[in-house]
Structure formats: C-alpha cells, structure tokens
Amino acid sequence: MSDENCTNPNCNCSCKHEPVENAIETKAGKDSDRRDFLKYAGMSLVGLGLGPALAYWLQDDNETKIKEIVKNPAIINGKAQRFTILHTSDIHGQLDIHDEFFMENGKPVFKKRGGFATLKTMVTELRKQNPLNTLLVDGGDCFQGSAMASLTQGTAIVPLANKLNYDLVLPGNWEVAYGKDMMMYDMNSYSAAKVCANMFHKDDKEHDLLFPPFQIFNLGGTRIGFIGYNDPLTPIRQSPDYSKGIQFTKPEKSLAKYVKILREERGCSMVFVISHMGLAQQIHLSDLECAQGVDYILGADTHERVREPIQGKFSKVTEPGAFGSFIGKLDIVIEKGKIKEEVYQLLDVDPEKYHEDPEMKGLVEKAKRPYKKLLEEVLGQTKTPLLRYYIIETPMDNLITDAVMWRMKTDIAVSNGFRFCPPLVPDPKTGLADITRDYLWSMLPVNSEVKTADVKGKQILNWLEQELENAFSKDAKKRFGGWFVRFNGMQVTFTIGNEKGKRVKEVCIKNELLDPEKTYTMAACEREGDPDNMLCRMRNVHNPVSQNVLLHDVLEAYLAEFSPVAPKIEGRAIATDAPADLLTQVLGGVNYQFR
C-alpha cells in the first residue's frame, strides 16, 4: 500500500503512506479529480444501454403544464383521462416536522420538512386537484426507524398511515426488522392493498407468496397495473434473523411474466413497478429485457431525490426521498389507450405551505402520549449538525463509533452504513441541539448488543474490500442500499473506481500502517442470526465476546460524560476519486444529482 495514487486534497493521512394466482383488482463534480471516477461510475449504466434522461420541464414549468392539462378540451369533454400517482417511501416512522438536509450551491442547507400532520394536509390538497383519479402509494420502510416505530414494533405507525388513505403499499427491506410474523401483522393492518412479487414463505419460491404479486386499479376508465418488488439482498443486508422464514427472488425471474399478464390478459394500458431496491438496482432493472412493457419504476430504499425521471432503455425511474419530507407526483394523460402527456414533480412536504392537519396532529400526540416522558428525556447536546446523508463518512456515525471506542477500549470501533434518521441541527441562537431519547431511537432503531473480537490485519483488508464492493460494485445489482461502513481507530484510503478487491490503498490503525499479520481488537454491534465467529459481516473472527451492554447504553453514558459533543467529518475514510460529501452511489451515465 502506498500514497502514490492519493490525489484527494482532503487526504490527511497521518502515517507514512481503501405469482398471479391471488391478484386483486382495486378501484379507485468536483472537477478534474472526479473525471475518472465519473467515467467509471457511468460505465455499468451506460454499458447497459442507458439513454439520456428525458427533457422534462422544470418544476415551475410543470405547474404551468398541469394547469394546461386541466384546461385541455379532450379532458373536459371526456375524450382523454388524467390520473395522478402520489408516491412516498422510506418514511421510517418519522411522525413530526423535522430538520431536513439539502445541498444548494455546493453547500449544506437545512429546512423544516415532513410530519404526518403536514403530510395529511398536503395529500388532501393534492387529491382535490384530481379527486376521482388520484392514487397514493408507499414504497416501504414506513413503520421502522423511529422510537415510536421500534417501541411498538410498528403498531403505532400503521393506523396513522391508514389516516392518509393509502391505496397501495409495498414492504421495504426494514419492514422485516421485527420478524416475519410481526411484519405480516403490520402489513395486514394496512387498509391499503398490498403487493410484492418476490417474498415467499419458507422454501417455496414458486407459489407461496406472502402478498399478491400485482394489483390493478381502474382510474378514469383506464386499467393500470402495479407489480411489487422488495430488495432480494435483504437477508444479507440486515441481521439474518429478521428474514427467517422468508425467501426472496430476483425481479428478473418473474417481471416479464407479470408484465405479459397485465398487458395481454388483464388489458392494462400502463404497467408500473413499485420497488424497494435502491436507485442503482432500479436503473439496472429498467435496462433489462424483462422490463419491456414497464412504463415507470417507482423506486425506493436509498432515499434518493429524483427530480426528473431517469430514462432507462425500457422504463423511467423515480425515487421520492425519505422521512416523509417529499412526495413524488406523476400526472398522466391517456387518450384512446395512448399516453399523451406525462408530468413528474418531486414536491417538498413543507409545513409553511401546508399547515398541519389538526386531527392528524392530535392522533400523533395521542399515540405518543404513553411514551412522552421517555421520548422527551434529554440525553445530551450537540454543537454541530448530526446527519447521515454522506456515503463515505458521517458526523452521526463518528459520534456513535467515538462512544463505542470510549467504552470498549478496542483498536477499532465499527458502525454499519445506515441511511435512516433525519438531521439534527443546533439552534442558531444557543448553538446547541438537544439529543433526546426519541432522537437516539432514530439514530439507532435497532438497539443491539455490543460485541468484540480479535481480527487479523489481513482479515480487515479483505473485509474492507468487500464492504466497498457492497457499496460501489460495478455490477449495480450487487450494490447494497446502505453506504460504506463507518469506523473509529482506522483511517482508510481507497479508490472507488478500481476493480473489486483492488480498491483499498492504505489502512492506518492508530497512526500506524496496518500489519496484515498483526492481531487487532474490534467492537461492533451484534447482528441477530449471524454465526458466533462473525462481526459486522467479517467472517472467522477470533475470541468473539458479547459484552452484555446495549448500544443505546453506550451512547447514553458517552453523552452524559462528554456533552455537548461536536462530531464532524475528519477524514477517517478518504476516496481518492470522490469528494468527502459524496451523496449518491449513482454517478455518471445518467442525468441525476442529489439535492
């Protein structure tokens, strides 16, 4: 390992130099230093035949276009029909108005967004624009990711979601967090229709589906079909016990079959895939032969904010952000079975524009009442924004690994590459933000036990290479939805654009170059269902010990000792070919930018 290829100006290395059978019909750049990386990142997508994005109107122009559609004589005379799809996803149990992150002019900006009461008002207003032909769908990860979700295993969230009057819901990868039985209970508590074509009971991957594979809706005399897919990598990404009793298949196995059924047998004029696989996998799917006949892939999982649909070879792809901060709105005009107009918008759930619905606000407060004292307890304060949007390193996970390192006194402390949890921003007057128990549950909705083990230097190298492959594989279908693993005690320099197994350039542990033959101590959270000799997906570790302390307890003790904290990005992980504030796995080859 050497520093000869380390060209990142932020590098501060301190050492010397990384089935149909039960389907239901329902009515209703940086500049020169990034060019090589951008070229690489687009290769897997361009190589799949991905074309340029469609020339969609800007948001202001879209508003004008909607007004023109409403006044269209063909629609007024009933010769054409307009229907609207409203799409949310990855709400992660966030019930209240919260801080939200935006990137504007290359700088982070924070604004208040979301909240179920705001969402209720907004959905009601949007439905009024097209009252008879509007469909509200959710793409998964709704009832996991917050204190209220975790403490009630989702049962407090679903009744509130029902008050939004969803028409269709898909399970996401985190819907399995409470186990199969609880997931089925929560999903079946939705008043909306359910859909998922690739989750099966036990070992029967042919017939024993958990949910209907597709749903059909009649909107303005137009039949529209929806096929659902969850991420087939879910049992690997999450703790294995979560998915016990559930088998997953890849969309490629069944998508063409269902498209044919919907188009040819059921007479659908349009076919949508509602999926929870991450933007890279969804773009990949849009370019496969099996996606012929799919008009849109309404995606989810990676919390990406697609503001102009991404045009694949066969389908367009969207994704509507996270935490109830955004709604994707798609307006379609169909005349004589043919699409005449398409207008897509990503709309902010802005509490200044849409005032909170009093009834929903009251229901949220009622649901929280039994936990109010617990949730509002202040555990500490932060002087810097806590956020998790960056793919390579985040202030939030630096705080977590700082705490684990402090408590366990190991050489290395590790936190998984989670995405959930909205930001927490200090008050400009006081310079502080309270870290409540409620917020701790949003940071860590899985309160796992801390585990330590001894690991060889060469194991660390191989593990880091695999973690980089999980996040940045050139084969899009192999990319996990999560980001790169986070850590304390190490400084890792890597090149994303390199081949698998050749990305890590340098690893320093406690300011010394990693020794492949040396044994190091490592701490991470236990993953339920993993073998005893596995630690954070690292296999064959030595002397594994569960420390009988929960991760929440570690954070609470750390905050009690060191508050106010001030975590920031400090170069623990450095990509030679991408900036420290990298915000998406999808770079190059498509007209997309996270903002």
**Per-residue model confidence as pLDDT tens digits over 50-72:** 332 333 334 556 777 776 666 67
pLDDT (tens digit per residue) in 284-304: 999 999 999 999 999 999 999
Range of the domain at 564: 380-575
Residue 46 has pLDDT above 90, yes or no: no
pLDDT of residue 530: 82
In a domain, 405, yes or no: yes
pLDDT category at 73 given cuts 50, 70, 90 is: low
In a domain, 182, yes or no: yes
Q: Which helix (H) or strand (E) holds 284?
A: helix 279-286
pLDDT category at 206 given cuts 50, 70, 90 is: low
pLDDT (tens digit per residue) in 559-574: 999 999 999 999 999 9
Do residues 585 and 479 touch, judged by C-beta distance below 8 A?
yes
pLDDT of residue 45: 35
3-state secondary structure of 301: coil
**Which amino acid would we find at residue 413?**
A
Report the alpha-carbon distance of residue 147 to residue 176 in Å, rounded: 16
Residue 15 has pLDDT above 60, yes or no: no
pLDDT of residue 49: 30
Do residues 226 and 168 touch, judged by C-beta distance below 8 A?
yes
DSSP conformation class of 265: I
Of the given ranges (11-15, 523-527, 542-546), which has the lowest mean pLDDT?
A: 11-15
Which CATH number do you get for residue 454? 3.90.780.10
Residue 140 has pLDDT above 80, yes or no: yes
Report the alpha-carbon distance of residue 271 to residue 315 in Å, rounded: 10
pTM recorded for the entire structure: 0.88
On whether both 351 and 202 belong to a single domain, the answer is: yes
On whether both 344 and 236 belong to a single domain, the answer is: yes
On whether both 351 and 389 belong to a single domain, the answer is: no
Query: How far, in Å, are 25, 164, 432 from residue 220 at the CA level?
Result: 15, 22, 52
3-state secondary structure of 359: helix
On whether both 336 and 395 belong to a single domain, the answer is: no
Q: Among candidates 159, 138, 139, which has minimal Cα distance to 148?
A: 159
Report the alpha-carbon distance of residue 436 to residue 277 in Å, rounded: 31
Torsion of CA 131, 355, 300, 214, to 10 degrees: -30
Which CATH number do you get for residue 177? 3.60.21.10
pLDDT category at 114 given cuts 50, 70, 90 is: very high
Tokens of 18: 């990384």
Show which of 317, 335, 363 is a domain's final residue.
363
On whether both 273 and 315 belong to a single domain, the answer is: yes
pLDDT category at 407 given cuts 50, 70, 90 is: very high
Give the pLDDT mean for 526-533: 83
Rg over CA atoms, the chain: 24
On whether both 93 and 145 belong to a single domain, the answer is: yes
On whether both 449 and 351 belong to a single domain, the answer is: no
- If one compares 269 and 206, the residue with the highest pLDDT of the two is 269
pLDDT of residue 474: 86
In a domain, 25, yes or no: no
pLDDT (tens digit per residue) in 235-271: 988 888 999 999 999 999 999 999 999 999 999 999 9
On whether both 354 and 453 belong to a single domain, the answer is: no
On whether both 455 and 430 belong to a single domain, the answer is: yes
In a domain, 15, yes or no: no
In a domain, 257, yes or no: yes
Chain position carrying tokens 């967004």: 113
On whether both 79 and 170 belong to a single domain, the answer is: yes
On whether both 326 and 417 belong to a single domain, the answer is: no
First to last CA, the chain: 35
In a domain, 328, yes or no: yes
pLDDT category at 74 given cuts 50, 70, 90 is: low
Number of domains comprising the chain: 2
Residue 105 has pLDDT above 80, yes or no: yes
Residues 6+ apart with CB under 8 A from 322: 89, 90, 91, 92, 303, 419, 420, 422
In a domain, 581, yes or no: no
In a domain, 311, yes or no: yes
pLDDT of residue 2: 37
3-state secondary structure of 132: coil
DSSP conformation class of 264: I
Report the alpha-carbon distance of residue 510 to residue 16 in Å, rounded: 12
* Secondary structure in 3-state letters for 506-517: EEEECCEECCCC
On whether both 525 and 495 belong to a single domain, the answer is: yes
**Mean pLDDT estimate for the chain:** 88
